[in-house]
C-alpha cells in the first residue's frame, strides 16, 4: 500500500456519512480522482466514458445507483458534507465535515495527478 493509499483511507474515515434520497444522482456527474483512487475502480471502456461524459454523468452510475459506492472517490464522498458542496435536496450528515479535514482533502487533490473518472 502506497503513502497516498494510506492517506486516502485516513481521509475517508474522517468524512461524515448520511443517507441519500433513493434514486437521486445529483452528485454523479463528471469528476476527477487521483490515480490511486482510479486504480481501485473497475476499468471502463472509452465508449462508456464517452457516453457518460455526453450525459454529464459518471461511467460508474448504473440503473440502481453508484456501482462503486464503497470505493467512490474522495470528491464524491465530500458532496453533501460541506457548505461548499451542498446536496440540492437538503440531505446532510448530522455534523458537517470539519474544516481541517476538508482542507486536507483539497490539498491532497491538488497535490496528486487527477484524471477524469
The mean pLDDT of 109-115, rounded to a whole number, is: 95
What is the pLDDT at residue 78?
A: 96
pLDDT of residue 27: 87
| DSSP three-state, residue 105 | helix
Contact between 104 and 52 (Cβ < 8 Å): no
Contact (CB, 8 A) for 99 and 15: no
Could you tell me the sign of the dihedral formed by the alpha carbons of 84, 36, 117, 10, in that order? Answer: negative
Query: Average pLDDT of 86-104?
Result: 96
> Domain boundaries in the chain?
3-21+29-116
Q: Is the pLDDT of residue 23 over 90?
A: no
1 pLDDT more than 90: no
What pLDDT, on a 0 to 100 scale, did the predictor assign at position 103? 97
Q: What is the pLDDT of residues 99-109, one digit of tens each?
A: 999 999 999 99
Amino acid at each position: 500500500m502506497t503513502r497516498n493509499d494510506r492517506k486516502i483511507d485516513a481521509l475517508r474515515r474522517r468524512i461524515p456519512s448520511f443517507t441519500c434520497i433513493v434514486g437521486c444522482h445529483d452528485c454523479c456527474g463528471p469528476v476527477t480522482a487521483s490515480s490511486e483512487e482510479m486504480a481501485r475502480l473497475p476499468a471502463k471502456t472509452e465508449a462508456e466514458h464517452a457516453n457518460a461524459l455526453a450525459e454529464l454523468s459518471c461511467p460508474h452510475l448504473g440503473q440502481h445507483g453508484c456501482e462503486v459506492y464503497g470505493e467512490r472517490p474522495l470528491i464524491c464522498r465530500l458532496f453533501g458534507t460541506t457548505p461548499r458542496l451542498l446536496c440540492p435536496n437538503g440531505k446532510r450528515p448530522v455534523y458537517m465535515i470539519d474544516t481541517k479535514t476538508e482542507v486536507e482533502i483539497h490539498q491532497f487533490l491538488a497535490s496528486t495527478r487527477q484524471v477524469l473518472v
